[in-house]
Amino acid sequence: MEQGDLIEDIDALQLAQSEQIFTKASNRFIRKWNRKESTFIEYFQKEWLTSHRGWYEDIQQLTPSTNNDLESNNKVIKDENTFRERLPLGLKQFHDEQTVTLDIWPSSYQWVKLDKSVVSIELENEIEFYIPGGQQLSISKNEIDVMKKLKWYSFDQYKAKAFNIWHVILPMDSAKWLNGQCNCPVYFKKFMCKYIVGLAIRLNYCKPPPAAKNIPIGEKRRRDRPSKAKKALLIQ
């Protein structure tokens, strides 16, 4: 049981979305496990927090901003052993056209139907969105602050607070919404996720294919569903 908890925590650490988050969460992780699993922690610290650090999710590594970054990242990755196979570096950059795979549409459509309250902030060339995760329907300014400033003081707080708000950035140019970025685990694997697609649906940037709207098995189909419901899916 205890070992299961440890593995679960390593999985959570792996989801750290930046160097800064990884460093801070690592410290919290060590503090939590140091006494109970001192031998393992000593090994882990040496091998996976010092020698080979490239095994966590890091948006900077996926979309390097300059060629220099790309080269240095490639070198780092080449030199490092990883826990799992990483996606080829900069893959997204070389994709002329990002696509939405069929499996993302239904989950995006379901997410839109939850009608969560999303906080949006317009920046110079892009729009930032803060999306409540899990069962939450809305988020407070304080919760956004906690997420942005990494205000978690134990590893358990990191697990609870670092993943309850998703952060999506969409280009200001609505035609380029497919280049949006998100900090959720699915995005790190597919460069696309239900939050990006869901926001694009809500903002009327795109329309889901009719098949995505099929009601999942287990729910009752209702005839003559008013088209009012459809309109409510869209932001304002």
The smaller minimum CB distance to Zn ion, of residues 6 and 184, is found at: 184
Q: Which residue is nearest to Zn ion, using beta carbons?
A: 182
Instruction: Tell me which of 62, 147, 165, 182 binds Zn ion, using CB under 5 A.
Output: 182
Question: Token digits for 116?
Answer: 């969560």
Residues 83, 186: contact at Cβ < 8 Å?
Answer: no
Q: How many CA atoms lie within 13 A of 209 on its CB side?
A: 9
d(CA 21, CA 13): 9
CB of 167 to Zn ion, least distance (A): 9
Question: Token digits for 114?
Answer: 């939850």
3-state SS, residue 121? strand
CB of 201 to Zn ion, least distance (A): 14
CB of 84 to Zn ion, least distance (A): 19
Q: Which residues fall within 8 angstroms of residue 186, CB to CB, at 6 or more apart? A: 192, 193, 194
CB of 193 to Zn ion, least distance (A): 3
Q: Please, which of residues 193-212 interact with Zn ion by CB under 5 A? A: 193, 195
Under rule CB under 5 A, residue 118 binds Zn ion: no
Q: Which of 137, 104, 116, 107 is nearest to 235 (CA)?
A: 116
d(CA 213, CA 210): 6
From 59-67, 178-186, 205-213, 218-226, span contacting Zn ion (CB under 5 A): 178-186
From 10-18, 28-36, 180-188, 219-227, span contacting Zn ion (CB under 5 A): 180-188
CB of 168 to Zn ion, least distance (A): 6
Count Cβ atoms within 10 A of the Cβ of residue 22 and give its class: 0-12 exposed, 13-18 middle, 19 or more buried. buried
CB of 15 to Zn ion, least distance (A): 12
The smaller minimum CB distance to Zn ion, of residues 17 and 26, is found at: 17
Q: How many chain residues interact with Zn ion (CB under 5 A)?
A: 5
Count of CB atoms situated within 10 Å of the CB of 55:
19
CB of 151 to Zn ion, least distance (A): 22
d(CA 151, CA 214): 41
The smaller minimum CB distance to Zn ion, of residues 111 and 195, is found at: 195
Instruction: Tell me which of 41, 184, 199, 212 binds Zn ion, using CB under 5 A.
Output: 184
Which residues of this protein are in contact with Zn ion, per CB under 5 A? 182, 184, 187, 193, 195
